[in-house]
Amino acid sequence: MRQLFDELAFILQRLSLSSVVDLVLVTVIFFAGLIFLRNTRAMVLLRGILLLFVLISLLTAILDLPAFSWLVRNSLPAILVAIPVIFAPEIRRVLERLGRASAILATTREHPQETDVISAITLAAIRLSELRFGALIVLQRLDSLEEFVETGVPMKAEVSTQLLLQIFFPNTPLHDGAAIISGSHILGASCVMPLSSSGVLSESAERHMGLRHRAALGTSEVSDAVALVVSEETGAISVAFGGRMIHRLGRERLEGVLRAFYKPIQPQNGLEKFFTRFLPFLLPEHRDTTEV
């Protein structure tokens, strides 16, 4: 025990400010990487790679295997080349988020949001749920969704419960696709949204969920938008935000979740902007709304 304390004291004596900064940066990078990979298929592959690495290290350390050690050493370059191919979707998602980092330093724009917009959306979702009409409503926040609006029919109409019900009425020209809302206006309807490739839905209990749920989750993965889904089969209401999906929402809970995620209160400092944009699920308000 005394030897352990001596070694710790020796390490602390050699510890400098630059060493602390170095350790903190490495920790942050590893932590951010695990956060981005959490609940994805890449995490399963990463666990397998780490387990294989540990087993190979133990095997070569215990036994004298020159041929096997030579094979492992010469295979390392090929493995390093294969990693970007294996984790291509996750790497692309991280780079897309980092590409929007410049907006953090810019002044956050205000949404001309009326106080009754969320109430109108909530009422429309409840009514659609009762009628078993499928719907996908995307609420734009900081990231622009103009590229997806262009895939549908531009509207620029005031948000109202009646209009949302009309858009998602079965067999109408606009019911298939997403309605994108910014502030108090519907920018477009019948918009094509990106599908999720993270595998979160396929690994959950809700494996039967279809394209609307995959599109909602995919939209929340590539942007900071809030996506509301009404299931055509069950009438269940779900909300996707920050790459996570909250299921089985009633009227009061749905309105609370929307007000927590889609509120016009803007971050006041750079750190809060960073967490709001890239790691929203670490914010206290997000953890409160995702509790079962």
**pLDDT band (50, 70, 90) for residue 33:** confident
Q: Do 257 and 136 belong to one domain? A: yes
For residue 128, what are the contacts with CB-CB under 8 A and spacing of at least 6? Answer: 134, 135, 164, 165, 168, 230, 235
d(CA 288, CA 291): 6
Q: What percentage of the chain reaches a pLDDT higher than 90? A: 29
Whether residue 224 sits in one domain with residue 132: yes
204 neighbors 162 (Cβ within 8 angstroms)? no
Residues 144, 280 within the same domain:
yes
Q: Is the pLDDT of residue 12 over 70?
A: yes
Q: What's the rounded Cα separation, in Å, for the pair 270 and 172?
A: 44
Position 269 in a domain = no
Helix (H, G, I), strand (E, B) or coil at 178: strand
Within-domain flag for 111:
no
Contact 279, 224 (CB under 8 A): no
Q: Are residues 143 and 247 in the same domain?
A: yes
Instruction: Note down the domain range covering 87.
Output: 2-101
pTM as predicted: 0.61
The CA-atom distances, in angstroms, between 76 and each of 83, 91, 104 are 11, 20, 38
DSSP symbols for 83-134:
HHHHTHHHHHHHHHHHHTTHHHHSPPPPP---TTHHHHHHHHHHHHHHHT--
What b/e readout covers 86-97, taking b as 16+ CB neighbours within 10 angstroms?
ebebbeebbeeb
Residue 127 corresponds to which tokens in the numbers above? 């009514």
Q: Is residue 165 a part of any domain in this protein?
A: yes
* Residue 153: per-residue pLDDT: 94
pLDDT band at 157 (very low <50, low <70, confident <90, very high): very high
pLDDT tens-place string over residues 230-245: 999 889 999 999 888 8
What is residue 151's DSSP assignment? Answer: T
How many CB atoms lie under 10 A from the CB of residue 280?
A: 19
Residue 85 lies in a domain: yes
Determine the Cα–Cα distance for residues 62 and 21; give it in Å rounded to an integer.
36
- Can you give the pLDDT at residue 15? 75
Residue with tokens 């191919």: 85
**Total number of domains constituting the chain:** 2
pLDDT in tens, 85-136: 766 766 666 666 666 555 544 444 444 444 589 999 999 999 999 999 999 9
Pairing of strands 178-182, 135-140: parallel
Q: Are residues 73 and 151 in the same domain?
A: no
pLDDT one-digit tens code per residue, 176-220: 899 999 988 999 999 999 988 766 555 554 555 688 999 999 998
Q: Is residue 271 part of a domain?
A: no
Q: How far apart are CA 147 and CA 85, in angstroms?
A: 27
Going by the DSSP 8-state scheme, the letter that residue 111 receives in this structure is: P
Q: Which of 186, 168, 179, 187 is nearest to 129 (CA)?
A: 168
Higher pLDDT, 43 or 169: 169
Strands 185-191 and 153-158: antiparallel
pLDDT digits (tens, 9 = 90+) for 235-273: 999 999 988 889 888 888 999 999 888 864 444 455 555
Does 289 have pLDDT greater than 70?
no
Query: Which of 48, 74, 101 is where one domain is finished?
Result: 101
User: Is residue 150 predicted with pLDDT exceeding 80?
Assistant: yes
Q: Is residue 270 part of a domain?
A: no
